[in-house]
Amino acid sequence: QDGPQRKKRKSEVGEVDKQLDILAIGTAVGSILLYSTVKGELQSKLDGGHDSRVNCVRWHQDTCCLYSCSDDKHIVEWNTQTCKVKCKWKGDNSSVTCLCISPDGKMLLSAGRTIKLWDLETKEVYRHFTGHATSVSSLMFTTVKPMNESKPFDGVTGLYFLSGAIHDRLLSVWQIRSDRKEKNAVMSFTVTDEPTFVDLTVSEVKEEPVKLAVVCRDGQLHLFEHILNGYCKKPLTSNCTIQIATPGNDGDSTPKPVPILAAAFCTDKQSLLLVYGNTLQPIIEKVSLDTSESHICLVRDIQKVLSLKTDAALTKVKTPVVNSDTKVLVPGIPGHSTAVKTPASGKEKKKNKRKPGETEESIEERLGALDIDVSKVKTPGGLPQTDSFAVLLVQGLESNDAEILNKVLNTRKENIVKNTVARMPIHAVIPLLHELTKRLQGNPYSASLMVRWLKSVFTVHASYLSTLPDLIPQLGMLYQLMESRVKTLQKLSRLHGRLFILVTQVAASQTVQEVPEVNQTAKLVYEDDSSSSEGSDDEMIADKDSDENWDEDEEKEEQSDEQDMTVEKEMNGDSDLEPENESEEE
């Protein structure tokens, strides 16, 4: 809808062939981009002309000049060869919203609320026009030659031009006259809503009518056909109104209107190009119309042509009106079906209130009534199933609920993490990565858990992520995190090694100091009773001496007896005994 104001336009006639493929785009910051449609790339950028948003851009028919207007009240003439400002002048006391160059290329129409006609050589105002109460959104010349051919033509006098404004349901037609006093519109066209797109066939001959196609905000197209021949007090209504609607067959009997976005006349000035449907994926169709009818409704089955794919996970759960043959899945527990009971028309609806004597049914009984196997629902440890984890994760990401996300992402079991990532829908992968990146910046405990999820996401969804064209800007923060962690890893490992050596040395020195000393004291001391008095000790010594003397006397006597016995045995010839036996006998 903002196309006519902000983005215009590929030139129709150019002196240089290269100029034909350049598209000039005004931006909100005040610069103008020159885009090559053949090369498919940005050719140059025009800076320094405007301080505020560019509202309109127009190519000159004959030269390489470009004209632009902005909210900063100025009009700028650009030299696109050098990409510099050729001339800049103040166009209005308020923002200038629209421009149009005259057919001969010597004059320029500009409009904020009032409309001014400028001489491009002197940059002075040639004519003033009243304009509109609101800012003008469209300006275009409707005739090339004046209707009165008797007077000499100076290139602009006698020509008609058309203007439309926002929130204004009247399109005004103005005539450039020789006298300066006439500043009001000569005629006007009335439409049903604010005009968003205007196209017309230029009248080249005196008797040729001007054909006008006006697309309104309400989605209708109005066609006008009128010979411009002077003043007309009453606003002119459209000759033909065109609407597009759906047939309304499939289940829904009411046809729905399809908005028309734009319309343009073809070169034969009879057939029209219609643009309708969705702004993201519009449908363009060439139609030949019989304008004798005042109202035409074209039936187009837009649903078959344009079907926007929506993921099932994004849609809200609704309870549809179903037949008895339909199989319904219970929400929350995939794979379990329940029989649908159609309510009887004659019976009254049951109230939820219990009677005082009744007891409430248990959960197990209710699940039994729903024909669900209770053993399948109950999971060991009371943990939810992996598919419900995937559903919870998607819900948490969409609603940004920290409680749900903490419950899911703090899971430690590897198989649950893998299954959840594998079962989650594709559209939730990028939001999950953003959430993991946010949590990786937190404390190390949560970061260690998030790394498991990251590993599973990159393992399972690597093929999907590689297809994204803007993956690097989307995951820029994650890349920076990983790079910073990897940079510090070498330093941390060195520090870890040094600290390990220090800690082991300190521990070893502590173990040496803590060795227990050997206890030198005797564990058992034996004391005799007789050692109590000194006198008894003397007696002991005397006894010992006498005992020793007595033992020595006995040994002498035994030795003399042995000698006598050996002499007798030698004499008797019994000296064959070994010394050992002798000692035994002794």
**pLDDT one-digit tens code per residue, 273-282:** 999 988 888 8
pLDDT tens for each residue of 8-31: 443 333 334 556 788 999 999 999
User: What are the CA-CA distances from residue 375 to residues 149, 371, 379, 479 (Å)?
Assistant: 95, 12, 8, 45
The Cα–Cα gap between 505 and 500 comes to: 9
Q: What's the rounded Cα separation, in Å, for the pair 487 and 477? A: 15
In the prediction, which pLDDT does 190 show? Answer: 94
Give me 132's structure tokens.
């509109």
Condensed to tens digits (0 to 9), the pLDDT of residues 205-217 reads 777 889 999 999 9
DSSP 237: P
Q: Name the average pLDDT for the chain.
A: 78
At residue 42, φ and ψ (nearest 5 deg) are: -75, 125
Do residues 228 and 210 touch, judged by C-beta distance below 8 A?
yes
The arithmetic mean of pLDDT across residues 220-242, rounded, is 89
Helix (H, G, I), strand (E, B) or coil at 553: helix
How does strand 54-59 pair with strand 65-70?
A: antiparallel
Least confident of 46-55, 304-313, 391-400: 304-313
C-alpha–C-alpha distance, residues 417 and 408, integer Å: 9
> Which residue segments constitute the domains of the chain, with CATH numbers given?
97-299 (2.130.10.10), 389-486 (no CATH)
Closest CA to 133 of 170, 176, 173, 84: 170
The pLDDT-based confidence of 272 (bands split at 50, 70, 90) is very high
How many whole angstroms separate alpha carbon 285 and alpha carbon 358? 68
436-447 per-position pLDDT tens digit: 888 887 777 777
pTM of the model: 0.51
The beta strands (E) that lie in 246-345 are given as 257-258, 260-265, 271-277, 282-288, 295-299, 328-329, 337-338
Please tell me the predicted confidence (pLDDT) of residue 524: 84
On the CB side of 323, CA atoms within 13 Å amount to 2
Comparing 39 with 567, the larger pLDDT belongs to 39
At residue 570, the pLDDT reads 53
pLDDT in tens, 323-353: 666 665 655 555 555 554 554 444 444 445 5
The full 3-state SS of 440-489, as one line of letters, equals HCCCHHHHHHHHHHHHHHHHHCHHHHHCCCCHHHHCHHHHHHHHHHHHHH
Separation of alpha carbons 408 and 420, rounded Å: 9
Q: Exposed (0-12), middle (13-18) or buried (19+): which is 510, by Cβ within 10 Å?
A: exposed
In this structure, are strands 74-79 and 84-90 parallel, antiparallel, or unpaired? antiparallel
Work out the average pLDDT over 365-372: 67
Lowest mean pLDDT among 284-288, 347-351, 493-497, 579-583: 347-351
What is the C-alpha to C-alpha distance for residues 428 and 399, in angstroms, rounded to an integer? 12
For 179-183, 377-381, 450-454, 520-524, which range has the lowest pLDDT when averaged over its residues?
377-381
Q: Say if CB 242 and CB 296 are below 8 A apart.
A: yes
Rounded average pLDDT over 466-480: 81
Give the rounded distance of the alpha carbon of 308 from its chain centre. 19
Give the pLDDT score at 489.
85
Q: 468 or 47: whose pLDDT is higher?
A: 47
pLDDT for the residue numbered 155:
78
pLDDT, tens only, 257-268: 899 999 999 988
Query: What is the DSSP code (8-state) at residue 382?
Result: G
In the beta sheet, which residues pair with residue 479? none
